[in-house]
Structure 1
Amino acid sequence: MKQIKFNQTFIIMFTLITLGVTAFSFTSKFGLDSYEISLNNKVILKHYVNQPLNLRVLQLNKAKEGDQLGIRYTHCTIKDGAGTARSISVKDEKGNTLKKWAFADATGSNFNMIIAVNDLLKLEKAHTGQDLSIHYSARELPEGEMLSMLKL
């Protein structure tokens, strides 16, 4: 009788292990969308989209008019990572688009989207006292993604 219980326990354990290994052996190709924001080629903000909500505030109070802001958004579902029909927009606290930049489809490994800090400074002066935010959208992400609040 004890021999039968041992065999049943062994069979159940073997079945559970086999099912577990089988279930975890099928990995998804999908990872995480991520983005980096750099000022003059120095990364100042890096974020994975599904990370817990945090205060993503882009501090540009030390930026100069001639500086350049680079945004690199990587889609997890695309082989080379770059989206198509990409755009960056600045919105006010009510969700109104104040300015939008359209970018050509990326070729090669450099798919940074470059914005002149001077353009952002002009927007900030024109909309003093309002909370401004930077948003990304592409054909692969038509609803868009808020990247950061803007503090100039």
Structure 2
Amino acid sequence: MLHSMLKAARFAWVFALYAICSIVKVYAGGDQFEVHLNGKLVSKQFVINGYRALTVQLSESDRNGDLTILYSHCGEKGTNRVVFLKDEKGNIIRQWRFADNSSRLMHVPVKELMSTLKTGSTLVLSYAAGETKTERLLVKISVINQRNAVVHRLHFPALAYASLKIINYLV
């Protein structure tokens, strides 16, 4: 009886170690980003094939706020960082450049975003740096008439959510 319990416990440990190694192997060294609206996390994603940008809806009550972006290249801050605001056709409407010696956090005033947005329209916020070969889509932004902003979140599968927790713990 004791032998079978030890065997089951050993199997559980081996399986847990295999699962953790598989998760870390998939995401280790990859890029990730966070987008905060007025200090509240609205998007946190790993840049992998097939990730989808979330839509952040701004309202008039957000006008004096701040959109903060933290983009990590394998745990490091990028160089020659630029955040672009584009229309649906991909035309650049506005851009913000961030110095290499500045903070890891990139701040974009919401009033600058809202000055170019019309109610009902959707624009795209993207990121580029010396470390990226192409621009990275961060979030889609739209304006609504309601008092508070609403964020449409993706429903992460349990494994993807667990991997975020494990990697954040390891980093």
Structure 1 residue ranges without an equivalent (≥5): 1-23
Work out whether residues 40 and 67 of structure 1, in 8 Å CA contact, stay in contact via their aligned partners in 2: yes
Q: RMSD value over aligned CA atoms?
A: 2.5
Letter in 2 for 1:124: L
Q: Residues 68-83 of structure 1: matches in 2 within 5 Å?
A: 68-76=66-74, 81-83=76-78
Q: Residues 57-76 of structure 1: matches in 2 within 5 Å?
A: 57-61=55-59, 63-76=61-74
Work out whether residues 57 and 151 of structure 1, in 8 Å CA contact, stay in contact via their aligned partners in 2: yes
- Quick one: percent identity of the two aligned structures? 33
TM-score where L is the length of structure 2: 0.62
Structure 2 residue ranges without an equivalent (≥5): 1-20, 144-171
The answer to whether the aligner puts 1:84 opposite 2:59 as a matched pair is no
Runs of 4+ in structure 1 off by over 4 angstroms are none
Q: Of 109, 117, 121, which residue of structure 2 is paired with 1:124?
A: 117
In the alignment, which residue of structure 2 is the partner of 1:99? 94
Of Structure 1 and Structure 2, the greater helix share is in 2
Q: Of 123, 126, 145, which residue of structure 1 is paired with 2:136?
A: 145
The structure whose Rg is larger is 1
Distance of aligned partners of 1:62 and 1:122 in 2 relative to their CA distance in 1, 3 Å threshold: closer
Residues in 2 aligned to 1:141 and 1:119: alpha-carbon distance in whole angstroms: 25
